[in-house]
Structure 1
């Protein structure tokens, strides 16, 4: 049975790991690791004595450490020596984002998630994190940290670590995987050899340790990988069970069976667990079938949203005046899409004092536009090309319709050097199109995208990512195109949005803050966090929450073993913020809710009809994040005083929010997140969409209200920047 998440502290205490403390020497002494100034002698720099260094050498050493190079030789020497004393045997890891512009001050004590000295030690979890940072390709370290996460009931983090341990072990076994990352096989072997060879010789006989003796035999490091691999599989299995990811558990069991040598012995623990948990799994399945869950949620497990992850700073005070002022400045004052500013962001009156709201700063009359926003993050899934529907061409930036033949035209022009209207994605298996240039002076949609959100993803082949979110086409025995299954069941609908956030984070690290964390970019930091998600559970699947995020990072050039700024906990926080705040395109939002729980596959392409498409296509192929819009609180049927809609066909991405009754200065502006007459919106759907129960005061499901029509569009009323997204 997995660890009980409500009683994990007792198990952790019984293991004895809760009181274990490791100092700098305990972790790094005798490991053969070169940590630069941290481990080098106090009087040496790169093997040279400081007292023997000349002026040019001293200035070069100081400059490389971002220290002042001004002064005489004695001053330079003393400055370098003081620095060496300051950093000697002091290890700081996992730097945090600079959020001072949000009023969040992270001084030296909070600038790093981990800090170790000879005097101040750290616990088991941080110790293994430091070991991973020092030797990132050692699967034993990843397994050990996975076990710590598992024992503390952070099952999602345990899965992320166990997956990386399994990945490294698979590279040693699978020759195909060795070629995916150049040099990875050699690094893994070196890491394991280094780990084993630090074991001291026998103090009496002088013989090598038993592990070192095995290492020198014909099979080398492969003597040890079966044990690591088997332990990894058990941590994965137990964690998947704890998160109720029953389909993922069965899939891993099938893969394990295919790899086993002694099937009866190695499979027995899995079979015993499955027998014990069958009743729980059946009950969970019945609950989902009897509740309003979409098809894409049907196979997902769930993870709690209110636990603070070990390395999360947890220091964002959304109720601080500096924080709400900055949110108002970013989302309203600097919003050039609308010239007048008649609202601001403030702290709500909820008991937790962590929820934000938007209030009117002056009287607002009926049918007056209050807020306008373009989506800084968008995810456009390419639907399967079918004979029964024509090819719809739309600009990826503003979503305006494009004339037929635009794809071929832009592809030809791009090959001829026209870079204003297209980018390298025009030549990829999933091409991205942009609008033709309106004139020679205004920026094109392609230039707009490349300036705001389309950076390292440009020119990469992302067909695999689209395939991971849609039905997969194969040829049957008669060579007929057949859609065998849909990857939508893996809960991967947020994957394109996640890719955009990774891309934006990497770009801003180069241009602004080198330590920026993905969940703390400006578009996400103002949104709700774990303290707003009390008793809230979020969907979790091995594919959507672990496999795909790490594969995206690998394609963007991130080393998922060495770079822990994109660790599993960061990915989970980003996905949870997206789960609550992502908005489907207008056609999915402004219609009655239809919960499609089942989709039957396989489906043959030549048998599909138009009426079959809702039971074939992914439910939400287009998703957007409007962070400013997300700060407006929801209200049910009769309790909202404003509404919202896309601007129209002229600019489908532009979101406008208007009042449909007079709003007095100081009143909160509330909007409906669903179509007001939608009787299909149950309490369950509403809570999953909001991330919490609705606090509008009710009645929550009153279908009597008839909403007013949207105000007539006034093109002159919206700022110039709002015309193109």
Structure 2
């Protein structure tokens, strides 16, 4: 067989395996989602499967984590392993809210013996490249050894987990939950390592080793964490790794997941009609049309040099200085605790004088609004889901270096509150549904399943355990939402999709004294105007987002937008040199800016070996 034929066979085998794994994932998700019986699974069978859906089934979460890992989604595997770990804790502590439900689910799954995911010895490997070369990670492993370690330590730990009134069956189930927790720690440590989240990976690794000190997979994961840390921190082999300095933000796949049925056809006539209807009151001289933009990422063979996008175009001439757009959005957040900002629109509240229009929520402490209009909008949009909770303490007043991440998490929290209040799926919110997420085709993100495959692709979505997994779940718990019975609405891939959309479109206000971002918002119609480092509009965001047609362009030409011309926005500081503008674009948009100005200035740099000064913006 020649190499071409062999490659085709390998590709076909990969496709068949991927389809089988996706089918298995769908089956497990339906089982966990409380959607009734699952075809082909007999209750109480020897492998521990069951017939009825069990949302508190930690075994199903571990099974789904393994499937996600095989599909090349280590972030989703970590999310499932974390939910399984929470359920292990629920099984072990009679004082926890879901103790009986989790224990009942485990009892049903273990009716035929120890479930396969806890007694198997399957071995898998992942190829990892995060600036340190290729590393082989053992993603499955010596389960038998781990079981032996846990059972050996069971007598020491028994008093901690088991009540003296527990019957023999309950004691057996709690021991199984401890075995499962080792599996969770192993999956979390390895999956987060594959994502590049070294600090969280190390933390779970150490927790696992505390329960099973001789677990081979955890010991090996610890070695790889230290190896990667030395490479990323540029330490020599003899230097000690300071655990507090371990990086904890990695990168994961940024794509429309194969099972995502909520993403619309952004280029359909139905979508264009809806958006143009929304624009009538916000930007009456503009319309949404389909356009072609340069592809930002380079070096990925499957991608075309241009890609189809939505854009904002003038329906009639717009004069220099004329207002183009005026939009209010409640998909807003601030990371300041107890500051005098409107909870709805995040604008600064006026002084509380006798004739002040500022109002508070009658059921909350210290939640203020600009006026009754903002209060009414909040009550219709998001506030009932968080009213009279202490959710306002989450991600507030963070460390300065964490402020951008905190704002993204707070935007996720606002979107979840809007979805709960409006009783819609988060991805169906009109503020979210149609915005751009800079998604790559799944084929460009996929890790080939063949053992002869080359290195994995470069992923582009920033990811951390605290921002993407534990943070959103904490928000949901504060909202009194059961995170186990609402999996179809609040799964990790939903959070990741929201992050992908917000990272490319959210705008932020910085504190003029510190330069730190403190307020962020997503304006879904404003962000339809595509970025260009030579924009024809300028914008201002106070309580509302406003566009004005620029008096002059960046090179000094007169402003104005003719009928049929595209409205060109800017998402970064256009005074920056081209190198810094492109660095910003890589972080926010997933690739280097390819606008005409950037290409021109980069060409001047390459051609002459020095940097030309940027023309100053003339208003």
- Answering whether residue 593 of structure 2 is matched by residue 694 of structure 1, we say yes
The more displaced of 655-664 and 521-530 is 655-664
Counterparts in 2 of 1:491 and 1:708: CA distance versus 1, 3 Å = same
- Answering whether residue 373 of structure 2 is matched by residue 497 of structure 1, we say no
The more displaced of 342-351 and 315-324 is 315-324
Task: Return the alpha-carbon distance in structure 2 between the equivalents of residues 165 and 645 of structure 1.
Answer: 46
- Answering whether residue 84 of structure 2 is matched by residue 135 of structure 1, we say no
> Which residue of 2 is the match for residue 271 of structure 1?
219
Task: Return the alpha-carbon distance in structure 1 between the equivalents of residues 291 and 617 of structure 2.
Answer: 25
Secondary structure at the aligned position of 2:321 is classed as coil
Within 5 Å, give how 1:562-641 maps onto structure 2.
Answer: 562-564=485-487, 565-585=489-509, 587=510, 619-636=516-533, 639-641=534-536
In the TM superposition, what is the alpha-carbon distance from 1:243 to its structure 2 partner? 0.5
> Which residue of 2 is the match for residue 98 of structure 1?
none
- Answering whether residue 339 of structure 2 is matched by residue 396 of structure 1, we say no
Mapped contact 1:369–1:659 kept (Cα < 8 A): no
In the TM superposition, what is the alpha-carbon distance from 1:628 to its structure 2 partner? 0.9
> Which residue of 2 is the match for residue 598 of structure 1?
none
> Which residue of 2 is the match for residue 313 of structure 1?
261
Within 5 Å, give how 1:154-165 maps onto structure 2.
Answer: 154-165=73-84
After superposition, give the CA deviation of every residue in 1:199-237 in whole Å (9 maximum; x if it has no partner). Answer: 79xxxxxxxxxxxxx995572311311221111111111
Task: Return the alpha-carbon distance in structure 2 between the equivalents of residues 116 and 256 of structure 1.
Answer: 33
Secondary structure at the aligned position of 1:358 is classed as strand
Task: Return the alpha-carbon distance in structure 2 between the equivalents of residues 21 and 461 of structure 1.
Answer: 39
- Answering whether residue 47 of structure 2 is matched by residue 150 of structure 1, we say no
Q: Which has the larger radius of gyration?
A: 1
> Which residue of 1 is the match for residue 123 of structure 2?
none
Mapped contact 1:300–1:491 kept (Cα < 8 A): no
- Answering whether residue 283 of structure 2 is matched by residue 360 of structure 1, we say no
In the TM superposition, what is the alpha-carbon distance from 1:698 to its structure 2 partner? 2.6
> Which residue of 2 is the match for residue 173 of structure 1?
92
In the TM superposition, what is the alpha-carbon distance from 1:421 to its structure 2 partner? 2.0
Secondary structure at the aligned position of 2:333 is classed as strand
Task: Return the alpha-carbon distance in structure 2 between the equivalents of residues 396 and 314 of structure 1.
Answer: 29
In the TM superposition, what is the alpha-carbon distance from 1:517 to its structure 2 partner? 2.1
After superposition, give the CA deviation of every residue in 1:306-352 in whole Å (9 maximum; x if it has no partner). Answer: 3x42421276322222212212222x1143xx6xx111111112356
> Which residue of 1 is the match for residue 252 of structure 2?
303
Task: Return the alpha-carbon distance in structure 2 between the equivalents of residues 366 and 246 of structure 1.
Answer: 51
After superposition, give the CA deviation of every residue in 1:88-118 in whole Å (9 maximum; x if it has no partner). Answer: xxx99979xxxxxxxxxxxxxxxx9x99768
> Which residue of 2 is the match for residue 323 of structure 1?
271
In the TM superposition, what is the alpha-carbon distance from 1:302 to its structure 2 partner? 1.0
> Which residue of 1 is the match for residue 546 of structure 2?
655
Mapped contact 1:583–1:623 kept (Cα < 8 A): yes
Task: Return the alpha-carbon distance in structure 2 between the equivalents of residues 453 and 19 of structure 1.
Answer: 39
Counterparts in 2 of 1:624 and 1:219: CA distance versus 1, 3 Å = same
- Between the two structures, name the one with larger relative contact order (CA 8 Å, sep ≥ 6): 1
After superposition, give the CA deviation of every residue in 1:561-599 in whole Å (9 maximum; x if it has no partner). Answer: 1112211111110112112111111x46xx8xxxxxxxx
> Which residue of 2 is the match for residue 255 of structure 1?
207
Mapped contact 2:572–2:581 kept (Cα < 8 A): no
Query: Which structure 1 residue ranges, 5 or more long, are not aligned?
Result: 1-8, 29-90, 96-111, 122-126, 201-213, 288-295, 386-391, 438-442, 472-485, 510-515, 592-609, 710-725
Q: Which aligned segments of 4 or more residues in structure 1 are displaced greater than 6 angstroms?
A: 9-18, 20-23, 91-95, 114-118, 130-133
Secondary structure at the aligned position of 1:623 is classed as strand
Counterparts in 2 of 1:15 and 1:167: CA distance versus 1, 3 Å = farther
Task: Return the alpha-carbon distance in structure 2 between the equivalents of residues 657 and 131 of structure 1.
Answer: 61
Query: Which structure 2 residue ranges, 5 or more long, are not aligned?
Result: 1-9, 42-46, 115-165, 236-244, 294-303, 445-457, 552-558, 602-611
> Which residue of 1 is the match for residue 99 of structure 2?
185
After superposition, give the CA deviation of every residue in 1:606-637 in whole Å (9 maximum; x if it has no partner). Answer: xxxx8xx66xxxx322111111111111111x
In the TM superposition, what is the alpha-carbon distance from 1:11 to its structure 2 partner? 14
- Answering whether residue 367 of structure 2 is matched by residue 432 of structure 1, we say yes
Mapped contact 2:572–2:584 kept (Cα < 8 A): no
Secondary structure at the aligned position of 2:383 is classed as coil
Secondary structure at the aligned position of 1:633 is classed as coil
- Answering whether residue 607 of structure 2 is matched by residue 708 of structure 1, we say no
- Answering whether residue 491 of structure 2 is matched by residue 542 of structure 1, we say no
Task: Return the alpha-carbon distance in structure 2 between the equivalents of residues 449 and 20 of structure 1.
Answer: 42
Counterparts in 2 of 1:132 and 1:685: CA distance versus 1, 3 Å = farther
CA RMSD of the aligned region, Å? 4.1
Task: Return the alpha-carbon distance in structure 1 between the equivalents of residues 231 and 476 of structure 2.
Answer: 36
Mapped contact 2:196–2:250 kept (Cα < 8 A): yes
2:482 corresponds, among 552, 559, 568, to 559
Secondary structure at the aligned position of 2:68 is classed as helix
Secondary structure at the aligned position of 1:272 is classed as helix
